[in-house]
Amino acid sequence: MRKKKDGGGVVDRITELAFGKANDAVKLAFLDPAEPEQLAALEELDLSMVSEIKRSANGAVEVKLLNRIALLELLAQLSAPEAGAVKNGEAESFFLAMDKAAAKLGEEAQ
């Protein structure tokens, strides 16, 4: 069973995928399925960048990788709310301070 990841863990994993290497995907393309030793090597490969693989009857191999641009856009979207939350928090603090100052001025005027 997979363990649940918190929000930071998900962002870390997306970052790993966005900047990961696809070397093992190339090794996968050159594996010969008729060789049992080579099939055993599959256990050692990091195929997290692979989204799809096709092997045709004539031996051609097509490997599709994750879309790095889409992953980077997702990272930007996930990072933007955090930056906005800090700015909104600062604005909220400012307006609370203004309200307190206005309340004090109102009390002094009475």
CB 47 within 8 A of CB 33: no
Low-confidence ranges of the chain (pLDDT < 50): 1
pLDDT at 65: 93
Residue 14 CB contacts under 8 Å (≥ 6 apart), including other chains: 71, 74, 75, 78
Question: Domain residues of the chain, as ranges?
Answer: 1-66
Contact predicate 66/51, CB 8 Å: yes
Task: Provide the pLDDT for residue 1.
Answer: 43
